[in-house]
Amino acid sequence: MRIEFTKMHGLGNDFVVLDARERPLPPMDAAFAAALAERHTGIGCDQLIVLEPSELADFRMRIFNADGSEVEACGNATRAVGLLHGRPARIETRGGLLRSGPTEAGISVEMGKPRFAWDAIPLAYAMDTHALPVAWEELVNPVAVNVGNPHVIFFVEDPYAIDMARLGPMIETDPLFPERINVNVAAVAGRDSIVLRVWERGAGLTRACGTGACATAIGAMRRGLVDRRVTVALPGGPLQIEWAEDDGIVMTGPATEAFRGSFDPADFGIII
């Protein structure tokens, strides 16, 4: 049996997309996802995305990180599946109901409302999420926000001077974060401009992180550092983030279909 896939990316954050909306796929589990994410297979991805029928929306999007963990949200993939759908879409995710639609500036996604309560991040104990009284070496007093998935944001002089390969996993897996955390280091470059790098929970350093851009923009807005509409410059390129008057977050940016193919699950040691 061969399974068809579409390889896509959002500013270099890449995905293998399996479409099970018309026909069922073998049961998706962490092992399947982690096997497919391996780069040496010639496919490889930061996240595996599975589209399934939904009772609540046009379709359901399941998100598996490269380590196999299934998570609530993925901003760049939401734009990618919006591109694949080819028209405005309501998308059911573990993090809530999202809307995506093509615009002249790329694919726009309504990412829902941010949550700031310590137990909504979640943190292991009560803290002021506006400025956590914690530090990991030179990374101090971050903001924490949940934008469907959990993020911690450190504002620094130069994000590219931070040793993310060492500090990223240390913070991602700290017991303060019972569901682990996505780690963002950002510099404010103007009232409408942020520079950002992200160590992603379950995927490591990626070229771009849509939910990281949303979380960082909201964190900076909460601190009064930027206006309610900003451009976030990630290593793979820019995203536009707006915190709308109704408290919803709107992210706009590109999505790209790279190629289509098929694979035999047995080639990945997946016995069906």
Residues that bind ligand API in the complex, under the rule CB under 6 A: 13, 46-47, 63, 65, 71, 74-76, 149, 182, 200-203, 206, 209-211
Q: Are 156 and 186 in contact (CB under 8 A)?
A: yes
Q: Is 74 a catalytic residue?
A: yes
The upper half-sphere exposure of residue 123, i.e. CA atoms within 13 Å in the direction of its Cβ, equals 19
Smallest gap from Cβ 16 to ligand API, in A, equals 13
For 37-99, the DSSP string reads H-GGGS---SEEEEEE--SSSSEEEEEEETTS-EES--HHHHHHHHHHH-S-EEEEETTEEEE
Catalytic residue among 8, 50, 209, 230: 209
Closest to ligand API by CB, 68 vs 261, is 68
Catalytic residue among 8, 18, 33, 74: 74
Compute φ and ψ for 94, nearest 5 degrees: -60, -25
Smallest gap from Cβ 23 to ligand API, in A, equals 26
Smallest gap from Cβ 10 to ligand API, in A, equals 6
Residue with tokens 């270099």: 12
Closest to ligand API by CB, 70 vs 227, is 70
Closest to ligand API by CB, 83 vs 203, is 203
Q: What angle do CA 72, 28, 146 make, to 5 degrees?
A: 5
Q: Is 45 a catalytic residue?
A: no
Closest to ligand API by CB, 111 vs 221, is 111
Amino acid of residue 46: D
Smallest gap from Cβ 257 to ligand API, in A, equals 16
Has 200 been labeled as part of a binding site? yes
Amino acid of residue 83: L
Amino acid of residue 154: F
List, as residue ranges, the binding site. Answer: 13, 47, 65, 75-76, 149, 182, 200-201, 210-211
> Could you list the active site residues?
74, 209
